Structure 1
Protein backbone atom coordinates (compact mmCIF):
# COMPACT_ATOMS: atom_id res chain seq x y z
CA UNK A 1 0.00 0.00 0.00
CA UNK A 2 1.54 3.24 -1.13
CA UNK A 3 0.73 6.48 0.68
CA UNK A 4 0.98 9.93 -0.87
CA UNK A 5 0.62 13.50 0.35
CA UNK A 6 -1.35 14.42 -2.79
CA UNK A 7 -4.47 13.08 -4.48
CA UNK A 8 -3.49 12.96 -8.16
CA UNK A 9 -0.88 11.22 -10.30
CA UNK A 10 2.19 11.85 -10.06
CA UNK A 11 2.08 11.00 -6.35
CA UNK A 12 4.69 11.76 -3.72
CA UNK A 13 7.19 9.13 -2.54
CA UNK A 14 8.11 10.60 0.84
CA UNK A 15 6.02 8.31 3.06
CA UNK A 16 6.86 4.67 3.81
CA UNK A 17 4.75 1.96 2.17
CA UNK A 18 3.35 -1.37 3.35
CA UNK A 19 3.50 -4.68 1.48
CA UNK A 20 2.54 -8.26 2.21
CA UNK A 21 4.98 -11.11 2.59
CA UNK A 22 2.56 -13.81 1.46
CA UNK A 23 2.50 -15.62 4.79
CA UNK A 24 0.06 -13.25 6.51
CA UNK A 25 2.87 -10.91 7.53
CA UNK A 26 3.68 -7.39 6.37
CA UNK A 27 6.76 -5.39 5.55
CA UNK A 28 7.30 -1.63 5.72
CA UNK A 29 9.53 -0.09 3.06
CA UNK A 30 11.32 3.23 3.31
CA UNK A 31 9.93 6.44 1.93
CA UNK A 32 11.45 6.23 -1.54
CA UNK A 33 11.38 3.55 -4.20
CA UNK A 34 14.99 2.68 -3.43
CA UNK A 35 14.90 2.87 0.38
CA UNK A 36 15.69 -0.28 2.33
CA UNK A 37 13.08 -2.29 4.18
CA UNK A 38 12.36 -0.79 7.59
CA UNK A 39 10.80 -3.80 9.28
CA UNK A 40 8.60 -6.88 9.04
CA UNK A 41 5.65 -7.52 11.33
CA UNK A 42 2.84 -10.00 11.97
CA UNK A 43 0.23 -7.26 12.29
CA UNK A 44 -1.29 -4.78 9.82
CA UNK A 45 -1.89 -2.47 12.80
CA UNK A 46 1.82 -2.53 13.68
CA UNK A 47 2.77 -1.84 10.05
CA UNK A 48 0.46 1.18 9.91
CA UNK A 49 1.87 2.43 13.24
CA UNK A 50 5.39 2.24 11.77
CA UNK A 51 4.27 4.37 8.83
CA UNK A 52 2.55 6.91 11.09
CA UNK A 53 5.68 7.16 13.25
CA UNK A 54 7.68 8.03 10.12
CA UNK A 55 5.38 10.64 8.57
CA UNK A 56 7.26 13.76 7.47
CA UNK A 57 6.98 16.68 9.90
CA UNK A 58 5.24 18.76 7.21
CA UNK A 59 2.65 16.06 6.50
CA UNK A 60 -0.95 17.19 6.82
CA UNK A 61 -4.21 16.55 5.00
CA UNK A 62 -3.82 15.31 1.43
CA UNK A 63 -3.11 18.05 -1.10
CA UNK A 64 -5.69 18.25 -3.90
CA UNK A 65 -3.41 17.95 -6.89
CA UNK A 66 -0.22 16.19 -8.00
CA UNK A 67 3.32 16.09 -6.61
CA UNK A 68 4.55 18.95 -8.81
CA UNK A 69 1.68 21.20 -7.72
CA UNK A 70 2.28 20.28 -4.08
CA UNK A 71 5.99 21.11 -4.41
CA UNK A 72 5.17 24.49 -6.00
CA UNK A 73 2.69 25.25 -3.23
CA UNK A 74 5.25 24.34 -0.56
CA UNK A 75 7.92 26.50 -2.25
CA UNK A 76 5.61 29.52 -2.41
CA UNK A 77 4.63 29.01 1.23
CA UNK A 78 8.29 28.76 2.28
CA UNK A 79 9.23 31.86 0.22
CA UNK A 80 6.41 33.99 1.53
Structure 2
Protein backbone atom coordinates (compact mmCIF):
# COMPACT_ATOMS: atom_id res chain seq x y z
CA UNK A 1 0.00 0.00 0.00
CA UNK A 2 1.30 3.44 -0.84
CA UNK A 3 1.62 6.25 1.68
CA UNK A 4 -0.96 8.33 -0.20
CA UNK A 5 -3.54 5.51 0.00
CA UNK A 6 -2.88 4.91 3.70
CA UNK A 7 -3.07 8.64 4.43
CA UNK A 8 -6.49 8.83 2.76
CA UNK A 9 -7.73 5.85 4.77
CA UNK A 10 -6.50 7.46 7.99
CA UNK A 11 -8.25 10.71 7.13
CA UNK A 12 -11.53 8.88 6.61
CA UNK A 13 -11.05 6.89 9.83
CA UNK A 14 -10.33 9.99 11.93
CA UNK A 15 -13.02 11.03 14.43
CA UNK A 16 -15.40 13.70 13.18
CA UNK A 17 -16.00 16.93 15.08
CA UNK A 18 -19.73 17.05 14.43
CA UNK A 19 -21.22 13.56 14.54
CA UNK A 20 -24.25 13.00 12.35
CA UNK A 21 -26.11 9.73 11.92
CA UNK A 22 -25.02 9.53 8.29
CA UNK A 23 -21.41 10.22 9.25
CA UNK A 24 -21.51 7.51 11.92
CA UNK A 25 -22.87 4.98 9.42
CA UNK A 26 -20.32 6.03 6.81
CA UNK A 27 -17.52 5.64 9.36
CA UNK A 28 -18.74 2.09 10.06
CA UNK A 29 -18.43 1.37 6.33
CA UNK A 30 -14.92 2.82 6.25
CA UNK A 31 -13.88 0.68 9.23
CA UNK A 32 -15.34 -2.47 7.70
CA UNK A 33 -13.65 -1.76 4.35
CA UNK A 34 -10.30 -1.02 5.99
CA UNK A 35 -10.36 -4.50 7.56
CA UNK A 36 -10.27 -6.00 4.05
CA UNK A 37 -6.76 -6.07 2.49
CA UNK A 38 -8.08 -5.97 -1.08
CA UNK A 39 -10.10 -2.82 -0.39
CA UNK A 40 -7.43 -1.30 1.84
CA UNK A 41 -5.10 -1.36 -1.20
CA UNK A 42 -7.53 0.85 -3.16
CA UNK A 43 -7.93 4.61 -2.82
CA UNK A 44 -11.04 5.37 -0.75
CA UNK A 45 -13.07 8.52 -1.24
CA UNK A 46 -16.43 9.74 -0.09
CA UNK A 47 -19.15 11.83 -1.63
CA UNK A 48 -22.89 12.12 -1.15
CA UNK A 49 -22.59 9.99 2.03
CA UNK A 50 -21.13 7.09 0.00
CA UNK A 51 -17.85 5.22 0.28
CA UNK A 52 -16.17 4.76 -3.09
CA UNK A 53 -13.03 2.92 -4.12
CA UNK A 54 -10.70 3.92 -6.92
CA UNK A 55 -7.96 2.02 -8.68
CA UNK A 56 -6.06 5.35 -8.97
CA UNK A 57 -5.11 8.01 -6.44
CA UNK A 58 -5.97 11.24 -8.23
CA UNK A 59 -9.17 12.68 -9.70
CA UNK A 60 -10.73 11.70 -12.10
CA UNK A 61 -11.12 8.50 -10.08
CA UNK A 62 -12.05 5.17 -11.62
CA UNK A 63 -15.73 4.18 -11.58
CA UNK A 64 -15.43 0.41 -12.04
CA UNK A 65 -15.99 -0.71 -8.44
CA UNK A 66 -19.32 -0.83 -6.59
CA UNK A 67 -19.75 1.59 -3.70
CA UNK A 68 -21.77 1.59 -0.48
CA UNK A 69 -23.65 4.06 1.66
CA UNK A 70 -26.11 4.23 4.53
CA UNK A 71 -29.74 3.72 3.64
CA UNK A 72 -32.65 5.52 5.23
CA UNK A 73 -33.88 2.40 7.03
CA UNK A 74 -30.71 2.12 9.08
CA UNK A 75 -29.02 -0.51 6.92
CA UNK A 76 -26.74 -0.03 3.95
CA UNK A 77 -27.11 -0.08 0.20
CA UNK A 78 -24.60 -1.14 -2.41
CA UNK A 79 -24.73 0.38 -5.87
CA UNK A 80 -22.59 0.61 -8.94
CA UNK A 81 -20.25 0.71 -10.42
CA UNK A 82 -22.48 3.16 -12.33
CA UNK A 83 -25.10 5.27 -10.58
CA UNK A 84 -27.86 3.44 -12.44
CA UNK A 85 -26.91 0.03 -11.02
CA UNK A 86 -28.32 -1.16 -7.69
CA UNK A 87 -26.54 -4.21 -6.26
CA UNK A 88 -28.50 -4.77 -3.07
CA UNK A 89 -29.26 -3.97 0.54
CA UNK A 90 -27.33 -5.07 3.61
CA UNK A 91 -28.17 -5.00 7.30
CA UNK A 92 -24.61 -4.27 8.44
CA UNK A 93 -21.57 -2.42 7.16
CA UNK A 94 -19.60 -5.70 6.99
CA UNK A 95 -22.30 -7.29 4.81
CA UNK A 96 -22.26 -4.29 2.47
CA UNK A 97 -18.48 -4.45 2.19
CA UNK A 98 -18.65 -8.19 1.49
CA UNK A 99 -20.96 -7.40 -1.44
CA UNK A 100 -18.45 -4.87 -2.78
CA UNK A 101 -15.61 -7.39 -2.40
CA UNK A 102 -17.56 -9.99 -4.35
CA UNK A 103 -17.85 -7.61 -7.31
CA UNK A 104 -14.28 -6.32 -7.63
CA UNK A 105 -13.14 -6.27 -11.24
CA UNK A 106 -10.74 -9.03 -12.36
CA UNK A 107 -7.12 -8.20 -11.66
CA UNK A 108 -8.03 -5.41 -9.25
CA UNK A 109 -4.89 -4.70 -7.24
CA UNK A 110 -3.23 -1.82 -5.47
CA UNK A 111 -4.16 1.72 -6.42
CA UNK A 112 -2.13 3.27 -9.23
CA UNK A 113 -0.50 6.58 -8.33
CA UNK A 114 -2.03 8.97 -10.84
CA UNK A 115 -5.27 9.64 -12.69
CA UNK A 116 -7.69 7.25 -14.37
CA UNK A 117 -6.34 8.35 -17.75
CA UNK A 118 -2.76 7.58 -16.69
CA UNK A 119 -3.87 4.22 -15.33
CA UNK A 120 -5.60 3.38 -18.62
CA UNK A 121 -2.46 4.32 -20.58
CA UNK A 122 -0.34 2.18 -18.26
CA UNK A 123 -2.72 -0.78 -18.60
CA UNK A 124 -2.58 -0.50 -22.40
CA UNK A 125 1.20 -0.92 -22.26
CA UNK A 126 0.77 -3.98 -20.06
CA UNK A 127 -1.72 -5.57 -22.50
CA UNK A 128 0.78 -5.47 -25.36
CA UNK A 129 3.45 -7.47 -23.54
Q: TM-score range by the shorter chain?
A: over 0.9
What does residue 30 of structure 1 align with? 80
Bigger RCO (CA 8 Å, 6+ sep): 1
Q: What does residue range 1-80 of structure 1 map to in structure 2 within 5 Å?
A: 1-34=51-84, 36-80=85-129
**Two-structure CA RMSD over aligned residues (Å):** 1.0
The alpha-carbon deviation at position 30 of structure 1 amounts to 1.9
| The structure with more helix, counted as a fraction of residues | 2
Q: 3-state DSSP class of the match of 2:88?
A: strand
State the number of aligned residues: 79
TM-score using structure 1 length: 0.92
**How far apart, in 1, do the equivalents of 2:65 and 2:105 lie?**
7
**How far apart, in 2, do the equivalents of 1:30 and 1:69 lie?**
22
**How far apart, in 1, do the equivalents of 2:76 and 2:115 lie?**
28
Report if aligned partners of 1:8, 1:64 keep a CA contact under 8 Å in 2. yes
TM-score using structure 2 length: 0.59
**How far apart, in 2, do the equivalents of 1:79 and 1:18 lie?**
34
Deviating runs (4+, > 3 A) in structure 1? Answer: none
Q: Which runs of 5+ in 1 are unaligned?
A: none
